[in-house]
């Protein structure tokens, strides 16, 4: 099996492991005191005092709304962690490839992200952190049920392997309903850009395993990778068909979107996402003078909280849309 990075369809690969300390009550019922123990114990086991060059500790209640949302937009923390504002914390590695969320639904959510389709590498990184921790601490584990988690849906490996995929043509041809049904049959699921309960903005979806018990980690990774490869084949074949059928229409559509992003003076988040999808399609098909990397950078940088961080002030409505357009122009002009 080749691990070639296929980033024309797959934006990124993510593996997260849910773990709980055996002797502490789960985060669902525990107190501020126990939450602090959980953070301290994790730092100690990883031999990190507070923040160092490699890791930064983010304690949610000390962060502003913009900074918290920006971490979520970068997929470094989950939406659920933000719901645990009083106790939630995250250790994030400087290269942003690893984050350890603490006091979310489970004590620990070790998460590793890689660009393109590379779940095996993402898993390897997550398990390296897990192994370091496991030498120092005892996780809740049962010989029959595996790693025990607050929600029985994660019990077993505690592992969620997911691929973020861009499927504009499958969406256009209304195939996502069928895709969802076939995926469910093999124990996987497909969701929107920010995971459970979120919309597929910009035709970006997350494919991940639903089942965590009774499968090995490799089986899970292979299943998600196989579905990723299948979706890639289907989307590519539709892209080729569109190109053969009416290349002019395809170029017109992607260049118009590119022109709009490049010259707009104000743009809402929704309008950006619609046009971004066409721009990324054009970049991935070699139609536009922009790389896939720039398109992916745009996706992150043009989100609300990132715009406010760039502008260094809180913005809303028209001001936010004007700043978004300026930021997009800036990124595209430097290409």
Between 186 and 226, whose beta carbon lies closer to other proteins?
A: 186
Binding region for other proteins (CB under 8 A) out of 109-117, 139-147, 164-172, 231-239: 139-147
Instruction: Map the footprint of other proteins across residues 154-183, applying CB under 8 A.
Output: 155-157, 159
Between 186 and 249, whose beta carbon lies closer to other proteins?
A: 186
Give least dist CB 123 to other proteins, A.
10
Binding test (CB under 8 A) with other proteins, winner from 18, 89, 148, 267: 148
The CB-side HSE value for 253 (13 A sphere, CA atoms) comes to 17
Check residue 46 for interaction with other proteins (CB under 8 A): no
Long-range contacts, stretch 178-187, CB < 8 angstroms, 24+ apart: 179/231, 179/234, 183/207, 183/227, 184/210, 186/223, 186/227, 187/211, 187/215, 187/223
CA 307 centroid distance within chain: 19
Instruction: Map the footprint of other proteins across residues 202-221, applying CB under 8 A.
Output: 210-217, 219
The Cα–Cα gap between 182 and 304 comes to: 34
The Cα–Cα gap between 234 and 248 comes to: 22
Between 26 and 194, whose beta carbon lies closer to other proteins?
A: 26
Burial of 160: CB neighbours in 10 Å, binned 0-12, 13-18, 19+: buried
Task: Kindly write out the interface string for residues 223-242 of this chain, putting x where it contacts other proteins by CB under 8 A and - elsewhere.
Answer: --------------------
Binding test (CB under 8 A) with other proteins, winner from 150, 169, 231, 281: 150
Between 127 and 310, whose beta carbon lies closer to other proteins?
A: 127
Binding test (CB under 8 A) with other proteins, winner from 69, 120, 122, 139: 139
Between 5 and 145, whose beta carbon lies closer to other proteins?
A: 145
Give least dist CB 285 to other proteins, A.
36
The Cα–Cα gap between 239 and 188 comes to: 25
Give least dist CB 324 to other proteins, A.
30
The CA radius of gyration of the chain, in Å to the nearest whole number, is 21
Binding region for other proteins (CB under 8 A) out of 147-155, 160-168, 263-271, 323-331: 147-155
Instruction: Map the footprint of other proteins across residues 62-121, applying CB under 8 A.
Output: 105
SS3 287: coil
Selection from 290, 157, 128, 192 nearest residue 276 by Cα: 290
Indicate the helix (H) or strand (E) that contains 300: helix 292-301
Count of positions (residues) in the chain = 335
Check residue 37 for interaction with other proteins (CB under 8 A): no
Backbone φ and ψ of 18, nearest 5°: -95, 125
For other proteins, the binding residues (CB under 8 A) are 20, 22, 24-26, 28-29, 105, 127, 131, 134-135, 138-148, 150-153, 155-157, 159, 187, 210-217, 219
């Amino acid at each position: 099996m080749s691990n070639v990075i296929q980033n024309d369809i797959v934006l990124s690969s993510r593996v997260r492991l849910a773990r709980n300390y055996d002797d502490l009550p789960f985060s669902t019922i525990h107190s501020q005191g126990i939450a602090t123990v959980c953070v301290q114990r994790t730092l100690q086991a990883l031999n990190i005092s507070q923040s160092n060059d490699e890791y930064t500790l983010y304690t949610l209640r000390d962060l502003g709304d913009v900074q918290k949302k920006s971490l979520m937009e970068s997929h470094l923390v989950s939406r659920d962690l933000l719901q645990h504002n009083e106790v939630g914390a995250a250790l994030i590695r400087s290269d942003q490839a690893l984050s350890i969320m603490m006091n979310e639904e489970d004590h620990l959510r070790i998460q590793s992200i890689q660009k393109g389709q590379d779940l095996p590498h993402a898993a390897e990184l997550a398990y390296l952190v897990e192994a370091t921790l496991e030498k120092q601490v005892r996780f809740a584990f049962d010989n029959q049920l595996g790693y025990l988690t607050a929600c029985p849906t994660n019990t077993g490996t505690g592992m969620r392997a997911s691929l973020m995929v861009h499927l504009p043509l499958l969406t256009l041809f209304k195939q996502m309903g069928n895709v969802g049904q076939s995926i469910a049959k093999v124990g996987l699921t497909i969701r929107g850009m920010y995971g459970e309960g979120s919309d597929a903005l910009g035709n970006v979806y997350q494919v991940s395993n639903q089942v965590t018990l009774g499968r090995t980690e490799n089986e899970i990774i292979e299943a998600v990778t196989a579905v990723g490869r299948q979706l890639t084949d289907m989307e590519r074949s539709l892209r080729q068909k569109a190109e053969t059928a009416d290349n002019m229409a395809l170029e017109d559509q992607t260049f118009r979107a590119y022109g709009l992003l490049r010259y707009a003076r104000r743009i809402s988040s929704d309008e950006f996402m619609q046009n971004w999808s066409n721009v990324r399609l054009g970049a991935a098909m070699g139609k536009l003078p922009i790389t896939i990397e720039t398109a992916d950078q745009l996706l992150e940088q043009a989100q609300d909280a990132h715009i406010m961080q760039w502008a260094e002030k809180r913005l809303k409505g028209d001001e936010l849309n004007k700043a978004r357009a300026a930021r997009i122009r800036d990124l595209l002009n430097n290409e």
